[in-house]
Structure 1
Amino acid sequence: MIEILGRIFPKIYHEKGWTVGSEILFVMGLILLIAICNFTNVVLQHSDKIPATAEGFGMMLLFTAIISFFPAVTFVWFRYYRLNHEYSRPAKVMETELAEELQTANEETAIVHHFLTLMAENGKDKVVLTPQNLCYIEADDNYVTVVSQEPSGKLKKELLRSSLSKVESQIQLTYIRRCHRSYMVNLQKVYKVSGNAQGYKLHLWQVAEPLPVSRGYAKQVVLAT
């Protein structure tokens, strides 16, 4: 049932954008729709019981709301509890799992050192760098900014005309992942995680501002194995 509603109302009912407020509005709309259907059915078949007036519809709406109140409250509470439990993982847990995952990545990169080449959409412009030096990639309209760390420790920013999705498709390294619709991050550069799964922040060495982690990418960042 939840999967069906998620497909019919992706913006309202999907877990990425779900809130208690949106769920309440959704349930109220559903109750209103049921009341309209019931009212129409009763008026067509039993017009002597409920008149086809605004007052008659108000009676039907009130009756439907009373009948639906407790099931609706129970359903909203259950969904809130389930999502809150799933997305309330503390940052310390995330840091532990991140450390375990990066240990494997470090073993891989210790064996093989290669260059990462990111091509622009025109197939000519490109950014070539050592993947271990990459800090993060940020999307900005039709461009991406590739931020890497030079041997001196300074940050270097290079602009490339491409979408973040196309850049992502060129990267096959497990420790460089999408963490937000506008960001990809090198997990090896993360030294601290703050917040929880409803608002994680990744703190990178030499980078002043932490990177956001969208709820939809929280599992992909650290829980995927």
Structure 2
Amino acid sequence: MLSFTPYPKSQSIKEILFSSLAAGILVYLFLIIFQPFGTESFHHPYKYLILFPYTIIFGSSFFASDLCTSRFKNWNIISELLKILLILFLGSTLSYFYNSLFISHVALSFENYCYMFLYSLSVGIPISAIYILSRYIYLNSHKDIPQNNTLEQIETSEHSINTILRISANNTVLTIAENDLLCVQSMENYCTLYYLESNTVKKIWLRISLSNILTQIQTQKIKRCHRSYIINIGKVKNIKGNAQGYKLFLPEIDFEIPVSRSFISIIIPELQHLRT
């Protein structure tokens, strides 16, 4: 669904400042090139200088909004669109006061503000579309998690509780400590469990569906990451990729575990939390 489509957020002040400045400059270029809404009939020796503050107004609106929303979690495309609407509202309000008090010198009125808001929408919507698309492409290719980044392994202290997982499949009952489970791989009607026993990797085949086994073993660390995999995120050592596809690596096993796009918003924040 559109509302659950993840939209990347930037934690870089430099990137936020640059993208906000670019959005403000686009507004200025739109005004001086196309000269909409009576701008063409506005004659003044310093016309282009008078129009320049709109760059600052909208650039500041983008910067303030991006800076605030960078603190939110589970950001998606609907959240981004609502943020853009807030930016246009803020930009139109500041533009209205600037135009009324310093350019037109007219009395303030709600009707005039509505016109300014509509003008801001007309200019802002195409620019916002460019802004959203270009940032999506850029941030996806410059994720905060670099390729082959080593995650800090969280060791279990002697005072912590090692949860015991009990798995029942047909006539088989398997008991595994949570910290010993590595991953579960599904193959048709069977699942292969990879786990540690005396620091040696063991695996066992069970006739059980992945969804069934997940209901028995899911914990804060044991989560589904793909339609064919369950992962113990506490055992993940390396991660690479971006929002188009992540791969998880466990030092105990010799294959990579994919993360489906639908599970990225669940798995990746948990891995980031383990690093902090």
- TM-score w.r.t. the length of structure 2 is 0.45
- Counterpart Cα distance in 1 of 2:144 and 2:232: 21
Deviations 1:142-201 (A, max 9, x none): 1111101221x3321111111111111112421111111100111121111112121211
Q: 1:146 aligned to 159, 173, 193, which one?
A: 193
Return the letter of the residue paired with 1:116. L
Native 8 Å contact 1:179 1:185 kept in 2: yes
Aligned length: 151
- Counterpart Cα distance in 2 of 1:128 and 1:84: 45
**RMSD over equivalenced CA pairs, Å:** 3.4
- Counterpart Cα distance in 1 of 2:210 and 2:135: 32
| Residue 210 of structure 1: how far off its partner (Å) | 1.4
Q: 2:235 aligned to 172, 175, 189, which one?
A: 189
Deviations 1:18-46 (A, max 9, x none): xxxxxxxxxxxxxxxxxxxxxxxxxxxxx
Native 8 Å contact 1:94 1:222 kept in 2: no
| Residue 114 of structure 1: how far off its partner (Å) | 3.6
- TM-score w.r.t. the length of structure 1 is 0.55
Native 8 Å contact 1:180 1:214 kept in 2: yes
Native 8 Å contact 2:148 2:238 kept in 1: no
Native 8 Å contact 1:202 1:210 kept in 2: yes
Residue 210 (structure 1) aligned with residue 256 (structure 2)? yes
Report the secondary structure of 2:242's partner residue: coil
Q: Which residue number in structure 2 is paired with residue 116 of structure 1?
A: 165
Native 8 Å contact 1:127 1:158 kept in 2: no
The structure-2 alpha-carbon separation of the partners of 1:119 and 1:87, relative to structure 1 and needing over 3 Å to count, comes to: farther
| Residue 91 of structure 1: how far off its partner (Å) | 2.8
Structure 2 unmatched ranges of 5 or more: 7-125
- Counterpart Cα distance in 2 of 1:85 and 1:166: 39
Report the secondary structure of 2:220's partner residue: coil
- Counterpart Cα distance in 2 of 1:76 and 1:127: 53
Report the secondary structure of 2:244's partner residue: coil
Report the secondary structure of 1:126's partner residue: strand
- Counterpart Cα distance in 2 of 1:223 and 1:94: 17
**% same residue:** 30
